[in-house]
Chains A and B, each alone.
Chain A
Amino acid sequence: MIKVQSEDFDTGAELAALSRGRPEVGAVASFIGLVRDVAGSGELSAMTLEHYPGMTEKQLAQLEAEALARWPLDQVLIIHRYGRLLPGDQIVLCAATSRHRQAAFEACAFLMDWLKTKAPFWKLEEVNGESNWVAARQDDDDAAARWQTDQSSSKKNDVPETE
């Protein structure tokens, strides 16, 4: 399930809904990303997340399908917020449910790494009264690359170029 929204989310309610009425699910793995108060050049006062409506949902749905194809999962959930957020605010929730923990853990880590390089979001940081667009990080590309399979690495057109 994919949700792209400006409003906050209730992690407990979202995770409970994933396994409700599904007694075969034995594991729910999740990750929550938060806005930190540090930026490259000082203390961050706010961050605005811009995205490409339509493409965002399409790319996240492809991520969900890829995770479901790679691991024996029951469900995948990705919630990603956009708009102006403050330090401490929740940005993203990734979760995967399965019969056993290993598939849920691995799928969740995969979703987190690929989301950073595949989903069309851009961050505008407010630091010391100035607004600056955040540059992409090489280590995010490296983290995503560890999930490349022979099959997917042959489809390089799907992967954004690295800097």
Chain B
Amino acid sequence: MKLLYFAWLRDRVGKSEETVNLPASVTTVGQLTAWLARQSDGHAAAFDDPIGVHCAVNQEFARDDVPVGPDDEVAFFPPVTGGWGG
């Protein structure tokens, strides 16, 4: 599975993308987040507070119960802050 990290998630994980082999027990976004949090100190810092972490599966916003598989592109990022200042 291809994983992408943006903004402060990338800063904490320490890389912008990685490819991982999932254990069979990981089949949803929520399970993936919990599994990633145990992969390194950086991952733990990034996924320690899942409330502030948003996810997209194949470039569509996805909540915790959305299924994930080996062929998916999964991205993690903070809440979006596009547009302008005011």
Contact = CB atoms under 8 A, between A and B. Distances in A.
Contacts of B59: 52, 54-55, 58-59
Contacts of A95: none
Classify the interface of chain A: helix, strand, loop or mixed.
mixed
A34 B85 contact: yes
Given A55-B56, A58-B59, A161-B54, A121 B85 contact: no
Interface string B53-86: 0101001111100100000000101111111111
A132 to B, nearest CB: 9
Contact of A157 (B66, B75, B84, B85): B66
Interface residues of B, number: 25
A35 B83 contact: no
Given A36-B86, A122-B7, A133-B8, A160 B81 contact: no
B56 A136 contact: no
Interface in A112-163: 112, 115-124, 133-137, 140, 156-161, 163
Interface of A: 33-36, 38, 49-52, 54-55, 58-59, 80, 91-92, 112, 115-124, 133-137, 140, 156-161, 163
20 contacts: A33-B85, A34-B84, A35-B85, A36-B86, A115-B82, A119-B82, A120-B77, A121-B80, A122-B78, A123-B81, A123-B82, A133-B8, A133-B81, A134-B81, A136-B81, A137-B81, A140-B83, A157-B62, A157-B63, A160-B61
